[in-house]
Chain A
Amino acid sequence: MSKPRVAIFDFACCEGCQLQIVNLEEEILDLIGAVDMVKWREAMSESSEDYDIAIIEGSITRPEDEDRIRSIRSRAKVLIAIGACATMGGLNKLKNNFDMDDVRQCVYGDAGRMEHLDTAPTKAVDEVVKVDYKVHGCPMNPEEFTYVVRCLLMGKTPHIPDYPVCVECKMKENVCRWEYGEICLGPITRAGCGAKCPSASFRCFGCRGYVDDPNMTAAKDVMDKYGLSVDMLKSKLVLFGSKQGPSYE
């Protein structure tokens, strides 16, 4: 069997998820050996439009980007969204809390009216095209990325955790961040990160998105127990989870 042809594309983002691929360090040599890397603008000048697997980083923020992602989708057999910007719009969705004209004026002043600074409300990739697999997180977890790629190469379905970060955090024996009076989104956020943030004494800010069926009542109970305000919770919820959009059907 010939090696699958893989292309990596970036949309609006910090390119930190591509960086996680580079950060595989020695392991990246195995990856490059197992697939045929045909396009990766940030790392390679070689380029081809003939690919089987498209890896997408970043969110969709302009009409021309919608055209571009549709064109990529039409060429690829499999499409993988990597990182919060691609899987759920990520931090870029904070922009959607404002009027687009206001956003342009705020950053660019009067020049913000120029055509090339046009911007639309941020979308996750699956709000525009079908996404086959998602590698969550900001940045994505590189181990989860290689796991998903391995599964694909072996024809298996990857299993992504659908339980909250608290499960992994408890296994690390961390003291709950709520005990410190912090609003931690661990109870409703999808695990799979190894609870890295609470393990560094930093509250979970929900970068992997909600579990499929988030227990908001339990989250509110926890909040009541610690006497924290609903407004504070709401503010934290929109940081990465801002208007988590409907999925493509």
Chain B
Amino acid sequence: MSNTEVEVADINIDVKHLTRVEGHGNIVVNMSAGKVEKVQWQVPEAPRFFEAMVRGRHFDDIQTIVSRICGICSISHSLVATKAVENALGIEVSEQTDMLRLLMHYSEQLQSHVLHVGYLVAPDLFGAPSVVPLISQAPDAVLTIIRAHRVANQWSEVLAGRITHPITIVPGGMSMIPTEAQLGDLAETLKATIPDLLTVADVVLSVAENLPAFDRETEYVSLKQDNPPTYTFYHGDIASTDGYTAPVDKWESVANEYVVGQSTAKWAKWHRDSYAVGALARFNNNAELISPLGKAVAEKFGLEKGCCNPFMNNVAQLAECAHVVESALELIDKLLTKGLKKEKVQVKPRAGKGTAAVEAPRGILFHTYEFDDKGDCVAANLGIPTNQNHANIQKDFEAFVPQFAERGEDALRMGLEMLVRSYDPCISCSTHMLNIEFVK
């Protein structure tokens, strides 16, 4: 290599089982004489085969089973499964049920986002290996994060019956509804938590310069709801920042799972080589509809619609924390004005196929089920957010490595780890995920 102008040290990054992410992922980078030889985002998670396991199960057990796909987003999985079952069985739920479920769903966004930004991402920004050393370094900040997390969990418990794996969602309605007094108390608790959420945002803002300046254009895919226009997590159609839309029941032709090189790795793509889902995708599709406080948080960080820096997903999550609390307060107000009433749920099995979508905290989530006339499941297909981000993470890696390699191996590894974490991956969720063998 006598022609090489600058001597570049070889880089060999081999991160086995990346820490501070849900599930198991590996990062492999090999560079020799300044030339990238291999860049891989691998997933060795033990597959769990949920789509196979639900076969033969009665429709009223589906939610209980698939909730266990993910502890962190169990509410999203329960809700989307129940909506898909209802779609298959031709059930329309009441407005009250819809509102209570949406209120429950908001609680999970807050719980998951605070957990992700506060416990998993913040240590990177403070240069700490975990939140543990921060307990003594920045006790007030840590206690504020814990308090916000506790409020989100208490909120879940009021609607879902307990904190993880909800027990109130049944096909056709809710097995238990909160009392009006509980909702009133919840509203007071949520109002009181707003200053804490703004503090968390300010804490992150104080170290936001440590979020790498890295842009890569991609297609951002999320739900979009026009009637009424809403920053939606729960209703609407599939939309992308490239201007395309699709009804939810056509999700399989949006995800277009495909295989790369000789390795038969399944990735997702719609109109480009890859697409991204999650808070930044929702923001990029719906920014003008975010609540006033959500907008204020985004503005603090200079987050604007059209942002294509994946690290800003963390910031979009912070904006959504404020948004879901404000939206929940409006929703509680509406529920209390109408008054809550106990509704009877009656569901009869029938043969049919149903699909539904919700926004899990980490991106758009699809479930499809088919039932026989006894109401037993004959087939299922699940579209998981992290699967949809997988190719996009790989494409980000390929752009990131040449740009940041000159900072040296340690900084590059740290940057790649942060890049994966910024997607808030939920690898246990990704039942489809395969090992990637990237062929240059």
Contacts and interface: CB of A to CB of B under 8 A. Distances in A.
Given A19-B164, A44-B19, A102-B52, A32 B132 contact: yes
A200 interface: yes
Contact of A111 (B131, B132, B264): B264
Given A41-B17, A119-B49, A29 B135 contact: yes
Contact of A20 (B61, B130, B164): B164
B28 interface: no
B302 interface: no
Nearest to A85: B68
Contact of B71 (A15, A25, A199): A15
A107 B432 contact: yes
**Which 5 A-B pairs have CB atoms at the shortest separation, nearest pair first?**
A16-B71, A200-B161, A44-B130, A45-B129, A94-B53
A12 B72 CA distance: 15
Contact of A26 (B68, B143, B435): B143
A16 B175 contact: no
Interface in A126-166: 138-139
B162 A200 contact: yes
A103 B52 CA distance: 5
B264 A14 contact: no
Interface in B6-33: 17, 19-23
26 contacts: A14-B68, A14-B69, A15-B23, A16-B70, A23-B163, A41-B19, A43-B130, A44-B19, A44-B131, A45-B123, A46-B129, A91-B65, A91-B68, A92-B48, A94-B53, A98-B55, A102-B52, A106-B49, A106-B51, A107-B431, A111-B264, A117-B47, A119-B46, A119-B47, A200-B176, A239-B64
Contacts of A17: 71
A90 interface: yes
Contacts of B74: 14, 16
B149 A25 contact: yes
Interface of B: 17, 19-23, 44, 46-53, 55-58, 61, 64-65, 68-72, 74, 115, 119-120, 123, 129-132, 135, 143, 146-147, 149-150, 153, 161-165, 167-168, 170, 175-176, 259, 264, 266, 428, 431-432, 434-435
Contacts of B167: 196-197, 200, 202
Interface string A35-47: 0010011111111
Contacts of A46: 129-130, 132
Contact of A16 (B164, B170, B435): B164
Contacts of A197: 161, 167
Contact of B49 (A18, A32, A95): A95
Given A103-B52, A199-B161, 13 more contacts: A13-B428, A23-B153, A26-B143, A28-B146, A44-B129, A44-B130, A45-B130, A91-B65, A104-B49, A111-B264, A200-B162, A235-B61, A239-B61
Nearest to A18: B71
Contact of A25 (B46, B48, B146): B146
Interface residues of A, number: 59
Contacts of A213: none
Interface string A196-221: 11011110010000000000000000
Query: Could you say which of A22, A28, A97, A235 has the most chain B C-beta atoms within 10 Å of its C-beta?
Result: A22
A14 B161 contact: no
A91 B53 contact: yes
B435 to A, nearest CB: 5
A11 interface: yes
A108 B53 CA distance: 13
Contacts of B44: 116
Contacts of A171: none
B95 to A, nearest CB: 21
B49 A90 contact: no
A25 B52 contact: no
B45 to A, nearest CB: 8
Interface in A174-193: none
Contacts of B129: 44-46
A61 interface: yes
Nearest to B58: A235
Query: Could you say which of B52, B56, B72, B175 has the most chain A C-beta atoms within 10 Å of its C-beta?
Result: B52
Nearest to A201: B175
A23 B49 contact: no
Contacts of A15: 22-23, 70-72, 428
A130 B142 CA distance: 37
A65 interface: yes
B52 A95 contact: yes
Contact of B65 (A25, A26, A94, A108): A94
A62 interface: yes
Contact of A14 (B131, B175, B428): B428
Nearest to B22: A15
A236 B68 CA distance: 16
Contact of B20 (A25, A44, A111, A196): A44
Contacts of A11: 46
A102 B56 CA distance: 14
A108 B52 CA distance: 10
Contact of A98 (B22, B48, B52, B135): B52
A196 B165 CA distance: 11
B439 to A, nearest CB: 16
Contacts of B120: 43
Contacts of A103: 49, 52-53
A111 B266 contact: yes
A200 B119 CA distance: 31
